Structure 1
């Protein structure tokens, strides 16, 4: 139906996806702080086949199940960047990759220092390391309409690399007990998935059941189930062959993205962002070392890490900043990367077991992300104003020659034309001044 196509196309845009995610987060906060008991009841309601080890709560289905769709799309984006995007060229990829790594290491250092000095728990060191692709790109799409396209490419590459390493962190540091039988079964399923892709087997009725089996085995193995989504996304072919308008990866991502942006991620936000924001809880964010470490890591650590890493890479390696970008642009993007909503909330749930601590960590993620969004919004708005001024100067044609003045400044006749224009304007101003003076001296003047 045309309405369905219109809705799907809207959900593929970064702005709409970011707005829906924001609405879901706000709805979760309102629900949890007005009807908290019903929010808890729904979040903890269990359903699913217990015999398969999948009798999970609603919150777990959202975090482990639906979020796998989001990570599947992230895996396809990463594959596309590796084979056809910024990450294909090592020289072009070096700068955002170094920026992403430094943007993860420095927030972790900030968190660790704050918690060690404050005698807190270092378990949440990975919480402030992640960047939320959906929110960050949505803010850039809304505010940065006049910014260079290279800025979006830099942010997208940085966020994709950031997500890749966040996934590795989840797999390595937040996996306690491994069921090797289930893990081997998951790898066998992935091998079958890869083989079917290479044999050009088509049909959702083949891949969807197989993907569900792989996801269930990965969940039961003890490794976070979202890893299965990333692995399947990376296996898709993202290069076009003769006669193809779009590669399989592009086609499947095009189909799945509305489901991810309009259903999976908002539902995860709805059942993860519902934290109690009483006055004491908000004040506690700045008094507990764990929560303070998360806020400082997101707001300060991300900015320092990404900007500093980019500067060091250009200073001591052959990597070069894109000619379209200024260092002020990099600083604005670095502050924008402090929005760590989706993956930071997920890591916060994995890092702590105490319910009160998880609630406070979530509150600190929300507050840190909000501060980063406001700060980056102001910085991006200043850059937009700067680029608009440059555009207006480039398009100015004061002598009405049909050629912008900036391209004529080396022409001797241009200066003669401009002098004549200024003299004409000055004469017009003198004549208007004389008329105004004469009118004011007449006692019966209508003026």
Structure 2
């Protein structure tokens, strides 16, 4: 097992990684950028390195220097920041540090949505009709639209997190969507290329957790995650297993995920994402996230595994065997964010009250506490409320009580919105799709 670990992240995911590392007897090193000095992950690590500022979480040299200075043996990137950075993976290799993630070559291929789409399609994984080559301007996009037809989903070719995504139903909308995707892709990822794919209304967003093992095999966990509750193409509520997936479809999704991961020699934890048409059972490849997902706890609860422990053991080159697991009931995750619950705008501030729910089937992965401060420098995610139970009905009941009991004062908070989702008949019935939040917001208007 790894003896010392630098956690190259902050907040709740840093605490999550530190918790498993501590249970395994691994010494941990945390980072903080000044504004994070009072956060719980800083107090819980065995050693702390101060960074020169918030931007340093994205600085490969700063992260590697912190690992060298503290004698860390390995680096866990969490999610966001440098978690999908081939540059950091390579820098760790040069310094003799273990990288807790896939190899940089796999990361580079899968980070490019066009290249990844073409690669898996050539191996029989279904993809949506779209552009085989990246689009670099409006003229090229309009020419592609003549072939593909409207409506179209426009995506930045690089990166993830829904950045730059938009739907176009005609030429004018396409021009605006391409300009937005190119601008945001250039700003966030240094890449202005754009991918066009056929837009599917009424679809669901489902994903399969995979783990590439040192022996070259890939395990696909049996409880797919449904991430269809999204606002601005960013996930808000996730559940497993999906109410829209039956056993035969689940088997096909897992097989496609394994094919996609094995085709690049994937190692460590990753997630293969698909778009699902519930009425037909057809699904289409979207992308591979080459890191631990925000929503990984619901897989842990439903499958009885510790994905961070498995990540560390794979990175250490252990002879890891994942025995076939059965799904243990149902689980949901609610992302608690420092956001206005009506307009979804960030609302940072000092946390004056923080009271987490507890009880059977309740897990809270949090990055803040009373007395800490939510700053405007980072993503507004504060905590993840994870609820599990014997079946979906029990989870819904427990979630209602838990969301009512969760108390946060100081920053703006989206807890009222999460309660609104939970009370929505479309969500409680399990028949929702990726348009649920837009419909929910529209129903508020007089």
Q: State the TM-score, normalizing by the size of structure 1.
A: 0.24
Between structure 1 and structure 2, the one with the greater Rg is 1
Which of the two has greater strand per residue? 2
Q: State the TM-score, normalizing by the size of structure 2.
A: 0.24
Which of the two has greater helix per residue? 1
